C-alpha cells in the first residue's frame, strides 16, 4: 500500500507534466509537421528535411495514439479493440456515460430539489435507514452458526484455507477484467497486468500474508460506494442502486476464494440450484422446463 501511494504521487506529477498535456502534444506535433512541409515546398526536397518530416509524423502518431487510449479508458468502451482512431466516438461515448451519472435533481417529500447538499443528505439518510436493522434483535454470528449444520468435509476445508501458490494468484489477476472501475487507490487491473513482472512478488507476498494471518491492513479493503440509475430518468432515490468499487488488490483475494469455492460448492448446494455453480448453467432450467412441457403434452 505504501508503494502504491508513492507511485500514485509520481504518476500524478507525470500526468500533469507529460501525459495529461496530450492535446497540446498533438497540436505541437501537427504544427511541427506543417512547418517542415512548408519548408519542403519553399526550399525543395532534401534528405535532412525528409528525415525531419518522418520524425514529425511519428510524433503525431504517438500523440494521437495516447489521446485515443486515454479517451477509450475514460469512455469504458471495451468492445472496440482495433481499427482507426475514433476520438470523436470516444468523446461521444464518454459524454453519454457521464450524463446519467450526474444527479441534477431529486424528488424529496413531494418536491423536486436541486440543491446538492440537500440531495446528498437525503441519499445518505435513505440508505442508512434501508441498511440498518431496527428490529431490536441481538442475534449474532454465534447464534446463526448454532443452527447451521457443519457439512463441509475436512478435505474441502483444507482446499479453501490452503496458502495460495504463485500460479494461483497470477491466474486470479489475469482472470479478471482489467478495465473494470477503479477503487479508492486509483489503480485498475490494467496496471497490475501490464506491470506484473515488476509487482508480482509484492502481490504474491501480500496475498499469502492474508491467508496466513487473516488480516488486511487499513486501506486494502477500502471501497467507494456509487449510485447507478435503475432507469433512464431518475426521479427519486429509489430509482438508484448502490454498488461498491473495491481496490483491485482486494478483488484478487476474493477471486482466489471464489474460484476455490466454485469447485466444492456443487457438493453442498441442492441439485435444483443451477445458477452460479461451477459445471452448471442457469440455461439448463429453461431446457428442462421445455423438455418437461413436451413430455406432458404426449398422449401415449
Of 34, 83, 37, 85, the closest CA to residue 63 belongs to 85
Q: Of the ranges 30-44, 131-145, 226-240, 251-265, which one carries the lowest mean pLDDT score?
A: 131-145
Cell of 205: 507476498
The number of beta carbons lying within 10 Å of the beta carbon of residue 265 is 17
- CA distances in angstroms from 162 to 150, 152, 201, 211, 256, listed in the order given: 19, 15, 19, 8, 11
For residue 89, pLDDT beyond 60: no
Residue 80 confidence (pLDDT): 47
For residue 84, pLDDT beyond 80: no
Residue 133 confidence (pLDDT): 73
Residue 79 confidence (pLDDT): 46
Q: Spell out the domain ranges in the chain.
A: 18-100, 103-145, 149-268
Q: For the residues 6-34, what does the mean pLDDT come to? A: 83
- CA dist., res. 39 & res. 48, Å (int): 11
For residue 21, pLDDT beyond 80: no
For residue 67, pLDDT beyond 80: no
Residue 176 confidence (pLDDT): 93
Q: Give the confidence band of 99 by pLDDT, cuts at 50, 70, 90.
A: low
Residue 274 confidence (pLDDT): 78
Of 290, 294, 266, the closest CA to residue 280 belongs to 266
pLDDT digit string, tens, across residues 181-226: 888 888 989 999 999 999 999 999 999 999 998 778 778 888 888 8
Q: For the residues 110-134, what does the mean pLDDT come to? A: 87
Q: Of the ranges 41-50, 62-71, 165-174, which one carries the lowest mean pLDDT score?
A: 62-71
Residue 255 confidence (pLDDT): 94
- CA dist., res. 21 & res. 73, Å (int): 16
Residue 34 confidence (pLDDT): 87
Cell of 297: 403434452
Highest mean pLDDT among 177-181, 197-201, 267-271: 197-201
Cβ(278)–Cβ(262) below 8 Å: yes
Overall pTM > 0.85: no
For residue 173, pLDDT beyond 90: yes
Amino acid at each position: 500500500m505504501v508503494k502504491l501511494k508513492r507511485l500514485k504521487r509520481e504518476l500524478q506529477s507525470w500526468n500533469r507534466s507529460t501525459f495529461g498535456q496530450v492535446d497540446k502534444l498533438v497540436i505541437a506535433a501537427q504544427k511541427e509537421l506543417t512547418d517542415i512541409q512548408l519548408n519542403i515546398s519553399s526550399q525543395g526536397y532534401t534528405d535532412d528535411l525528409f528525415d525531419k518530416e518522418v520524425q514529425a509524423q511519428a510524433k503525431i502518431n504517438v500523440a494521437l495514439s495516447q489521446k485515443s487510449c486515454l479517451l477509450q479508458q475514460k469512455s469504458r468502451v471495451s468492445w472496440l479493440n482495433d481499427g482507426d482512431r475514433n476520438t470523436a466516438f470516444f468523446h461521444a461515448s464518454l459524454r453519454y456515460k457521464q450524463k446519467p451519472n450526474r444527479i441534477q435533481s431529486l424528488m424529496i417529500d413531494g418536491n423536486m430539489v436541486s440543491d446538492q447538499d440537500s440531495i446528498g443528505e437525503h441519499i445518505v439518510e435513505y440508505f442508512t435507514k434501508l441498511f440498518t436493522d431496527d428490529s431490536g434483535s441481538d442475534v449474532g454470528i454465534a447464534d446463526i452458526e448454532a443452527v447451521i449444520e457443519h457439512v463441509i468435509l475436512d478435505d474441502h476445508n483444507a482446499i479453501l484455507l490452503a496458502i495460495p501458490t504463485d500460479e494461483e494468484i497470477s491466474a486470479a489477476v489475469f482472470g479478471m477484467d482489467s478495465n473494470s472501475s477503479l477503487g479508492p487507490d486509483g489503480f485498475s487491473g490494467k496496471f497490475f497486468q501490464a506491470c506484473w513482472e515488476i509487482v508480482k512478488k509484492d502481490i504474491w507476498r501480500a496475498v499469502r500474508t492474508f491467508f496466513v494471518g487473516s488480516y488486511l491492513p487499513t486501506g486494502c479493503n477500502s471501497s467507494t460506494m456509487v449510485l447507478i440509475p435503475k432507469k433512464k430518468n431518475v426521479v427519486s432515490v429509489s430509482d438508484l442502486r448502490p454498488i461498491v468499487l473495491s481496490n483491485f488488490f482486494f478483488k484478487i483475494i476474493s477471486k482466489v476464494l471464489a474460484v476455490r469455492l466454485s469447485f466444492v460448492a456443487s457438493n453442498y448446494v441442492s441439485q435444483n440450484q443451477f445458477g452460479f455453480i461451477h459445471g452448471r448453467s442457469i440455461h439448463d432450467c429453461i431446457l428442462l422446463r421445455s423438455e418437461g412441457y413436451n413430455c406432458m403434452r404426449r398422449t401415449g
